Amino acid sequence: MIIKENGWYYFHIRGDFTPVCTTEMIAFTRAHTYFKQLNTELLGLSVDSNSSHLAWMYDIYCKTGIQISFPIIADRNGQIARKYGMIANDISNTETVRNVFIIDDKGIVRTILIYPMNIGRFIPEIIRIVQALQMAECAGGSTAANWMPNQPVIVPPPQTFEALQERNEKIEKNRNGISWYLSFKEPPEKCIKENENQKFIE
């Protein structure tokens, strides 16, 4: 489901030449390789014009030597922002809130994060979410609180009383859970291989 081939990690930029967003542009560019390793691409969206995007990207390049490595959509009339619920109507009819959208290869939004205007996005957590979505999909389970790549995943709960009893017996034998509704399994080797080289430290 999540970003196996042509899916996009999609994030919104509040506006060009803003300080927090400038740091995010740089941080996302530095992390772009890690997203690509997860079959995930970056795409920016801003209500500013294409000319403004180019000027901003050029200014970043002149000041830092960093070339922004992903496209930015010029959503001048806010049509895309409104469809995704990014217009903060209680604040302004045109000003957008800062969002992250993780969209899978079927065009389904799998995760939405909303940030205050004065708080920058934490790139390692966004990468971890992509990894967790992919691992849960591959392993056929769920990921626990504070899950990190290659840790055990949660087994789906049993659907019958007989299966419940079997699950409790396995937990008693393997010490891999606390009760029938919460037990763990090691992810399949193929799932581990998909995640093993995707660790990111900023």
Please check whether residue 28 is in contact with residue 100, taking contact to mean a CB–CB distance below 8 angstroms. no
Cβ within 8 Å of residue 3, ≥6 positions away = 9, 38, 39, 40, 102, 103, 104, 105, 130, 133, 134
Closest among 198, 199, 10 to 104, alpha carbons compared: 10
Sheet architecture: strand order including 177-179: 153-154, 182-185, 177-179
Please check whether residue 4 is in contact with residue 41, taking contact to mean a CB–CB distance below 8 angstroms. no
Distance of alpha carbon 176 from the chain centroid = 28
Please check whether residue 100 is in contact with residue 12, taking contact to mean a CB–CB distance below 8 angstroms. yes
Catalytic residue check, 138? no
What whole-number distance in Å separates Cα of residue 106 and Cα of residue 6? 9
Cβ within 8 Å of residue 66, ≥6 positions away = 26, 29, 30, 60
21, 62, 138, 191: the catalytic one is: 21
Which positions are catalytic? 21
